């Protein structure tokens, strides 16, 4: 029973991640003829590979964009202040 719960939670997590990134237009056609067992095996391998990156800062892109925007605003403000002092 625990194994089934684990597999269902894994499926939910994978589905959520897939929905977050979306499916490429040719994604369904590419895999429709592959047996379910093979797809499950490939998915299991991919999940194991993804676990290597679990420590990566998931907010890094958001933080980068936020800091870049703030840098641009500060650069513009500095230019305005420098122009006012001339």
Say yes or no: 45 and 70 in one domain. no
Domain of 42 in residue numbering reads as 1-55
28-45 pLDDT tens trace? 777 778 889 999 999 999
Q: What Cα–Cα distance (Å) separates residue 82 from each residue in 32, 69, 76?
A: 62, 20, 10
Say yes or no: 49 and 64 in one domain. no
Q: For residue 6, give the H/E element and its range.
A: helix 2-21
Say yes or no: 63 and 51 in one domain. no
Say yes or no: 42 and 78 in one domain. no
Can you say how many angstroms the Cα of residue 43 is from the centroid of all Cα atoms in its chain? 16
53-79 pLDDT tens trace? 877 777 888 888 899 999 999 999 999
| 0.85 surpassed by pTM | no
Instruction: Copy the structure tokens of residue 63.
Output: 């933080």
Say yes or no: 49 and 8 in one domain. yes
Residues 43 and 14 sit within 8 Å (Cβ to Cβ)? yes
Alpha carbon distance 86, 84 (integer Å): 6
């Amino acid at each position: 029973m625990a194994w089934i719960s684990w597999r269902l939670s894994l499926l939910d997590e994978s589905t959520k991640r897939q929905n977050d990134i979306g499916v490429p237009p040719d994604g369904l056609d590419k895999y429709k003829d592959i047996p379910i067992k093979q797809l499950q095996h490939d998915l299991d391998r991919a999940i194991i590979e993804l676990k290597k990156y679990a420590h990566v800062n998931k907010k890094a892109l958001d933080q980068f964009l936020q800091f870049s925007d703030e840098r641009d605003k500060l650069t513009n403000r500095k230019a305005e202040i420098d122009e006012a002092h001339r």
